[in-house]
A and B are shown apart, each in its own frame.
Chain A
Amino acid sequence: MVRKPALIERITSDRPPEPIARIRFTSALRSEGMAARLGVALGIAFTVAFATGLFSHFLQHPPSWLDWPSRPTWLYRVTQGVHVIGGIAAIPLLLAKLWTVYPKLWQWPPLRSAAHAAERGLVLLLVAGAMFQLVTGLLNIAYTYPWSFFFPVAHYWTAFIVYGALVVHVTNEWAKVRRSLPEPLEGGRRGFLLTVGAASGLAVLLTAGETVTPLRRLALLAPRAPGVGPQGLPVNRTAQAAGVVAPGPDYRLEIGALSLSYEDLRRLPQHTVELPIACVEGWSASARWTGVRLGDLARSAGASPDAVLRVESLEPHGGYRTSELRPPHWTDPLTLLALRLDGQTLHIDHGYPVRLIAPNRPGAQQTKWIHRIVIT
């Protein structure tokens, strides 16, 4: 393949000398077929991210008319893992795609008509939005927040902008994609696509182990290591961060009209379940929990089968101080008020004296340091 000697090449002679038009991009790797292939991959990645993101949002803010099921136990673990690891995989794809179409940024004239201006404006929304989602997402999973918006709100609403701009973009480019996809890529271009795929795949391999157990030893660059933390389990919010101190012997758990001491709870029938903590940041880790079945306790406290339970933490404030359990979750026999983790008394950072553990539920809703359960 013959390459032009310089990247920014000679002045185009057949056009009036507009300064920007002089830039010529000479890499033969750029082509419509390349843009189409990367575009299809990104379209799939963003569709999956949008769907799993909406799912996560609705689990955390369920509308009153929709109860989500407690099974399969691993559902949220998988969807959120796909959301986060898929987002990481999309970063090399996005960079490669934007590099492929970069010359279009400098097209001359910049705006040919009102329709062209609208099209370019929407592409700008798409590029800025895609960049925003991937950059803020990547920083958020690394617990780094160099902004003053609330990440979940900004990431959620921006997703609609990005996906809307993507739908418009796909509508505009669909004919080109259909035309160029059947054409095979030539050697150098195929190599470039494989390189981008390798970077994306390697990024996945080096992070997915924070939620995909068989890959845990490869998770060299993941923000979490599933076995690292008090009692071998990671923690998102420590007791210190939450402002919680271990309660003394006067601790009581109130549920409905019942009031139980820690010893009372220990004397009730104990059950052991294996359930994961699956966090919105994409990591997850399974553990063996032992405690009292919430369903049994709630029924003996007088909860009707369609009751909604509100679990309240000793945490003095914060958005995750309480969580709500609808019937599918509190009646599930796997749902426990856990007192022990892998056979040991719960560490304070895991919610001593009592925490909630339920299947198919975001980690932020597995409320720790429980002192009251309100039945409504």
Chain B
Amino acid sequence: MRIAGYALGGGLILLGLAGLALNAGQADPLSWALWFGGGVVAHDFVLVPVTLALGVPLRRVPRPYRVGLVVAAMITLVSLPVVLGFGRRADNPSQLPLDYGRNLAAVLLGVAVAAVAADAWTRLRRRRHGRAAPPSS
């Protein structure tokens, strides 16, 4: 079974590499390699260390806000291409037609409101059940 997995996987990898090599005119190996390697380098040596560093002071923040921050950060990251809007074209207003900066702000506000509401809800429930709030985190 393992041999079959390695053979299939290895075959697919070789097929992909061969396809890129045979289409080098369109696949532009230099630019491809830059993006192939650049993504993982940016992730492993910039994005994650920055996230870890930001996580340290947030350890004492109540959980609903930490959840909200994780969701907000991920939505911001996913929406960056439309918010930056480099793909806009003067001749084609139907391409990236919305005010994405405003929309992202509205979404983040919604996430913040949800976090505040969730935090208030947990505090209220704790009080109603007559328990002292445990230390956050």
Contact = CB atoms under 8 A, between A and B. Distances in A.
B31 A221 contact: no
7 contacts: A125-B13, A128-B40, A147-B28, A195-B67, A198-B71, A221-B104, A234-B97
Interface in A76-96: 88, 91-92, 95
Nearest to B31: A148
Contacts of A354: none
Given A131-B43, A158-B16, A223 B87 contact: yes
A206 B16 CA distance: 33
Main secondary structure of the interface of A (DSSP, over half): helix
B16 to A, nearest CB: 3
Contacts of A40: none
Interface in B45-61: 47-48, 51-53, 55-56, 59
- Classify chain B: how many residues form its interface, as a range: 35 or more
- Classify chain A: how many residues form its interface, as a range: 35 or more
B81 to A, nearest CB: 3
A203 interface: yes
Interface of A: 3, 6-8, 27, 88, 91-92, 95, 98-99, 102, 105, 122, 124-125, 127-129, 131-132, 135-136, 138-139, 141-144, 146-150, 153-154, 156-171, 191, 195-196, 198-200, 202-203, 206, 220-225, 228-230, 233-236, 238, 240-241, 349
Interface of B: 1-2, 5-6, 8-17, 19-20, 23, 26-28, 30-32, 34-37, 39-40, 43-44, 47-48, 51-53, 55-56, 59, 63, 67, 70-71, 74-75, 77-79, 81-89, 91-98, 100, 103-104, 106-107, 111, 137
Contacts of A163: 12
Nearest to B111: A202
B12 A161 contact: yes
A157 B20 contact: yes
Given A91-B77, A132-B39, A199 B71 contact: yes
Contacts of A157: 16-17, 19-20, 23, 27
B13 A165 contact: yes
B5 A171 contact: yes
B97 A228 contact: yes
Contacts of B11: 164
A128 B37 contact: yes
Contacts of B103: 220-221
